[in-house]
Amino acid sequence: MKAPIGVIDSGVGGLTVATELMRQLPKESIIYFGDTKRCPYGPRPKEEVEQFTWQMVRFLLKKQMKMLVVACNTATAFTLEQLRETLDIPVIGVIQPGARAALTQSWSADIGVIGTEGTIKSKSYQQAIHHINANITVRDLACPQFVPIVEQGIQSNKDIYETVYQSLRPLKNFDKMDTLILGCTHYPMLRDVIQEVMGQHISIISSGEETAREVSTILGYHHKLYEGDEPPIHHYFTSGDAIVFRKIATEWMQQPIHHVDSIHLTD
């Protein structure tokens, strides 16, 4: 089926998921919407996140997408179930795949989760993990300064390291913790610094790989994988500055980014 896979995020963070989708499903076209003008979603009330998420979804539905990936953890926590109940296409988020990957990786049954304020307050990762294994210790921590670093394209390693170090200090006191979930799709862009701060003994989990694997499985089950020979066309939409979006996306994805449009979202 030639129709594209839709990916939505509060900003550029969902590109970490889109990149993994392109790697695992190289024949599939992606349409991506990053709500960079209103990013971050983490501090916003649930009702506002729901409103913004639905605006992106309604826009992408006009592009005839065959599946929706909610790449924003906060939007996943607040809207996933209602999206699944309302839409007639498959919808997946990034929390369940990330939780499963962490459970597979951890040997000590002691897992950390970092994310936006909204994601951490929702306890979505804790619930997802305990739904599978109630005996796991989950230590969560909000890191609200991380998303602005990524969205603003801050390049100073010194400034980034200090911010990450100060933010993660509370987690460094837990000796048994062996796995850390990056509970925001922006955070993989800071993965190397996070790994340096936490230490090489900590396994860092990004949900992109597991999410892409689940997308492949679901599309295959519904016989919606594209099996033709036409090359994929990826289209990017942003509510903010298209030039800034293209610059950050090109740097992160390490490939030329074409077809970027700035869109004003309304109900």
Each residue of 189-247: pLDDT tens digit? 899 999 999 999 999 999 888 899 999 999 999 999 999 999 999 999 999 999 999 99
| Known catalytic membership, residue 143 | no
d(CA 185, CA 155): 18
Determine if residue 185 is labeled as part of a ligand binding site.
Answer: yes
Determine if residue 86 is labeled as part of a ligand binding site.
Answer: no
Q: Which position among 72, 80, 95, 120 bears the catalytic label?
A: 72
At residue 154, the pLDDT reads 64
pLDDT mean over 124-153:
93
The conformation of residue 263, written as its DSSP 8-state character, comes to -
Strand ranges of the sheet holding 235-238, from the earlier edge strand across to the other edge: 91-92, 67-70, 5-9, 30-34, 235-238, 260-262
Determine if residue 173 is labeled as part of a ligand binding site.
Answer: no
Residue 35 pLDDT exceeds 90: yes
Domains of the chain: 5-93+209-262 (3.40.50.1860), 95-207 (3.40.50.1860)
Each residue of 86-111: pLDDT tens digit? 999 999 999 999 999 999 999 999 99
Determine if residue 32 is labeled as part of a ligand binding site.
Answer: no
Q: Read off φ and ψ for residue 74, nearest 5 degrees.
A: -65, -45
Q: Which position among 12, 120, 136, 184 bears the catalytic label?
A: 184
Determine if residue 217 is labeled as part of a ligand binding site.
Answer: no
Each residue of 42-79: pLDDT tens digit? 899 999 999 999 999 999 999 999 999 999 999 999 99
Determine if residue 157 is labeled as part of a ligand binding site.
Answer: no
Q: Is the pTM of this model over 0.95?
A: no
CA angle, 142 as apex, 196 and 115 as ends, to 5°? 75
- Locate all alpha helices (DSSP H) within 95-156, ordered by sequence: 95-105, 117-122, 124-132, 146-151
